[in-house]
Structure 1
């Protein structure tokens, strides 16, 4: 069962669902809460290596990732990040979200942005029970236009679904919780699988 706007407000008020900064009611609609774009972006520097061979050892993959995932951009609030056609970029939400072990979150892009060619997540739109932190966005510009992205703009919506029972292995207690409590863009940690 998905939480309604009324339930989202109640869960936030009762601190069952933690969102920082606490959202104003204008950001909560029907079954979602709007999240805004943060000011941190990472682009890929592929002049050293055009191939990430995932069949290699963890150590070799780690070395390759350090070479290609290293271009950080901090965009002031009154500036824009230019997302060129065909470009893939990691970014972050302004909001931090912390889920209890009986709630799963679902990140969805905004339809108005999708109609301009902006994809918000490549595949990972589920937010696991027990997960917490800023959401890393996986932007892809599928249009033939440059898209100007401004920190603070509405970028996505998150809905929440109550589980049939609390998770016994929530994200925050897993040994391999690679992305828990992230407060900045976190690159792929596939080398830790």
Structure 2
């Protein structure tokens, strides 16, 4: 596998519509495309678990968990405060469209990590054939609240080529439960085969 260069990322965006924006400021390739990755911006949608209302999170009762979520929209001017130890779901402004012969990896940007903010805690692997916004698992590991702002470059995505095209790309699988996701999408464990 090989990581795409800036030149290849720009070509992939142009020819395959691999990264695009449906609502908000257009993609700024000059600012967002780095030597071997593309910065993705924070979107406007957030989901905050209401942990004070939960006894425990039961992975076999996701309906109870879903009822204890608070959705919120924020603007680029007001931002969202993430308190120490708090875990918040966010989303990317950009929608990604990964070709069937490539995969992507989402990582937090070091400028945010140096503040104690993890913009993408886990789930950073994006399968071949996936299309949708990326849900970000945001956590403040620091000791002070941090305000984050939609439209800011919060994470980066590296794209890699696979040895061949996927036989069953993400959208073709029966349990492609996040295909086409928009906004901060909560866990869908109840939709997968166990």
**TM-score after normalising by structure 2:** 0.91
Unpaired stretches in structure 1, ≥5 consecutive residues: none
Alignment of 1:36-185 (within 5 A): 36-54=41-59, 56=60, 61-68=61-68, 70-185=69-184
Contact 1:131 1:172 in 2 (8 A): yes
Cα root mean square deviation, aligned: 1.4
Contact 1:49 1:67 in 2 (8 A): no
| 1:15 Cα offset (Å) | 1.9
Alignment of 1:12-23 (within 5 A): 12-15=13-16, 17-20=18-21, 21-23=26-28
Alignment of 1:1-20 (within 5 A): 1-15=2-16, 17-20=18-21
CA distance in 1, matches of 2:183, 2:111: 26
| 1:150 Cα offset (Å) | 0.8
CA distance in 1, matches of 2:9, 2:36: 8
Give the 4+ runs in structure 1 shifted more than 6 A: none
CA distance in 1, matches of 2:73, 2:31: 27
